């Protein structure tokens, strides 16, 4: 099935007389006729639902849909994107281990790695997202457990050279984990370029309407865990009756362990209602992404016209633009469009940027990004304000950067709003 069809149809197939639309199973638990029947579930011998922390039918449907869209063997939803990033790393790394991460990543992920993982004894080396496989060589250590990057980084809109990062990781028998939040599987499928694990903040385009926080981890099923680097997957888990994930679950070892071990112990489970909203949102994902990208291109072209014309805009970053430094990577990894997010600078620096923010009418100043309604944010004074100038630079965020998330309204109305706000900022 093609992506548009998968968005609508995958994950839930009602049987005779069952509800046509995925129901919200608003229940923490599930009833069985005998202890033995339930015991088989606990032993991972039978498939079924018993407690919503571990699995729930309303989450199961969008999990199957996302796995199908990304081309993976399994998916686990989490309560937020942050939880998905954390669990994806903790599933294969612990105290004394090391990971390599692209520096062009979401500020929340940067803090998670820089601060919290460090406190847990996992050290992160941040590297330029444009590194080649050869350049990445020097960062690997004997205790390196994974490489992490973001397909299209929030908010700097840098594009990860997935193939280079995957080649470097695989040469050292470790997986590449890619945060694919901004492009969504409609615009890029990282597994097609060698990534092994994909994570998402479903709070963004996947839900699409800014109604439910959520995250997801998808396993390609392609990574060979048996190099000796991952005893947590290839040796018996004494907390799960001695199960050896690679022996029992084969290509789905990683994603089964994420659920059976970490969801069990840490518990960042999605609420059934949020899973329902995610599933509903994803039905229109392919349609929405086309409109987001078409609108964003028009907005970017308008901003460039102001840059080249009266200079009210000082720079424009949209990877689809032919003279963008990321354009070559955009053509390779995001040929159908990058996303609806455009960033730019307003003439007059931080002060003019603030005036612009205060003057928009249709666009809303919100922390959120990547949903149906046009919104904007000034990262340096909000999401990234805890980072030093040095760290900001590493993440590709300048003090005058406005992150503009183009919605699915009519592009003419969005551009008219930008025009009047630019005029006010120039006063």
User: Which residue is closest to ligand PLP by CB?
Assistant: 81
Burial state string for 194-223 with b = 16 or more CB within 10 A and e = fewer than 16: bbbbbbbbbbbbbbbebebbbbbbbbbbeb
Nearer to ligand PLP, 189 or 347 (CB): 189
* Residue 101 is a binding residue for ligand PLP (CB under 6 A): no
Number of residues that bind ligand PLP (CB under 6 A): 15
Beta strands in 62-196 (DSSP E): 74-78, 98-102, 123-127, 144-150, 176-179
* Residue 106 is a binding residue for ligand PLP (CB under 6 A): yes
Nearer to ligand PLP, 253 or 370 (CB): 370
124 bridge partner residues:
99
Selected from 52, 56, 58, 80, the binder of ligand PLP by CB under 6 A is 80
- Name the 3-class secondary structure at 364: strand
* Residue 213 is a binding residue for ligand PLP (CB under 6 A): yes
- Name the 3-class secondary structure at 116: helix
Nearer to ligand PLP, 133 or 366 (CB): 366
Which single residue is written with the structure tokens 């981890």? Answer: 217
* Residue 158 is a binding residue for ligand PLP (CB under 6 A): no
* Residue 204 is a binding residue for ligand PLP (CB under 6 A): yes
- CA 326 to CA 151: how far, in whole Å? 12
Q: In the window 343-402, what residues touch ligand PLP (CB under 6 A)? A: none
* Residue 154 is a binding residue for ligand PLP (CB under 6 A): yes
Residue 135 in tokens: 């350049």
Nearer to ligand PLP, 103 or 232 (CB): 103
Of the candidates 418, 402, 303, the one whose C-alpha atom is nearest the C-alpha of residue 345 is: 402
* Residue 201 is a binding residue for ligand PLP (CB under 6 A): yes
Nearer to ligand PLP, 52 or 154 (CB): 154
Half-sphere exposure of 120 (CA within 13 A, CB side): 18
- CA 95 to CA 211: how far, in whole Å? 36
Residue 165 · residue 100 · CB < 8 Å: no
Nearer to ligand PLP, 103 or 425 (CB): 103
Least distance (Å) between residue 20 CB and ligand PLP: 29
* Residue 181 is a binding residue for ligand PLP (CB under 6 A): yes
Least distance (Å) between residue 203 CB and ligand PLP: 4
- CA 245 to CA 259: how far, in whole Å? 11
Of the candidates 216, 181, 211, the one whose C-alpha atom is nearest the C-alpha of residue 88 is: 216
* Residue 150 is a binding residue for ligand PLP (CB under 6 A): yes
CA dihedral 7, 8, 11, 16 (to 10 degrees): -170
Residues of this chain that bind ligand PLP (CB under 6 A): 80-82, 106, 108-109, 150, 154, 179, 181, 201, 203-204, 213, 215
């Amino acid at each position: 099935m093609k992506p548009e069809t998968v968005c609508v149809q995958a994950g839930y197939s009602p049987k005779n007389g069952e509800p046509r639309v995925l129901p919200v199973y608003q229940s923490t638990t599930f009833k069985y006729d005998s202890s033995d029947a339930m015991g088989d579930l606990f032993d991972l011998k039978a498939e079924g639902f018993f407690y919503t922390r571990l699995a729930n039918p309303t989450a199961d449907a969008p999990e199957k849909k996302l796995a199908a869209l990304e081309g993976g063997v399994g998916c686990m939803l989490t309560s937020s994107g942050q939880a998905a990033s954390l669990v994806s790393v903790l599933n294969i790394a612990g105290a004394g281990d090391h990971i390599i991460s692209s520096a062009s990543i979401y500020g929340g992920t940067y803090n998670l790695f820089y601060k919290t993982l460090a406190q847990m004894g996992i050290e992160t080396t941040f590297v330029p997202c444009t590194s080649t496989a050869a350049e990445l060589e020097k960062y690997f250590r004997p205790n390196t457990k994974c490489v992490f990057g973001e397909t299209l980084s929030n908010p700097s809109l840098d594009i990860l050279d997935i193939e280079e990062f995957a080649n470097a990781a695989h040469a050292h028998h470790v997986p590449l984990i890619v945060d694919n939040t901004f492009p969504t599987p409609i615009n890029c499928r990282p597994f097609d370029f060698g990534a092994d694990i994909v994570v998402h903040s479903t709070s963004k385009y996947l839900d699409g309407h800014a109604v439910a926080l959520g995250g997801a981890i998808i396993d390609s099923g392609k990574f060979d865990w048996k190099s000796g680097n991952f005893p947590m997957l290839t040796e018996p888990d004494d907390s799960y009756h001695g199960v050896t994930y690679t022996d029992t679950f084969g290509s789905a070892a990683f994603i089964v362990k994420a659920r059976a071990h970490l969801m069990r112990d840490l518990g960042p489970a999605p609420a059934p209602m949020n899973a329902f909203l995610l599933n509903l949102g994803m039905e229109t994902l392919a349609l929405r992404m086309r409109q987001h990208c078409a609108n964003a291109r028009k907005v970017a072209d308008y901003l460039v016209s102001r840059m080249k014309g009266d200079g009210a805009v000082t720079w424009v970053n949209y990877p689809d633009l032919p003279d963008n430094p990321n354009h070559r990577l955009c053509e390779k990894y995001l040929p159908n469009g990058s996303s609806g997010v455009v960033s730019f600078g307003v003439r007059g620096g931080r002060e003019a940027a603030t005036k612009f923010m205060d003057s928009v009418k249709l666009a809303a100043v919100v922390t959120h990004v990547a949903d149906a309604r046009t919104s904007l944010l000034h990262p340096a004074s909000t999401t990234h304000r805890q980072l030093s100038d040095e760290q900001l630079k590493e993440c590709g965020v300048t003090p005058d950067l406005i992150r503009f998330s183009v919605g699915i309204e009519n592009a003419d109305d969005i551009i008219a709003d930008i025009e009047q706000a630019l005029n006010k900022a120039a006063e």
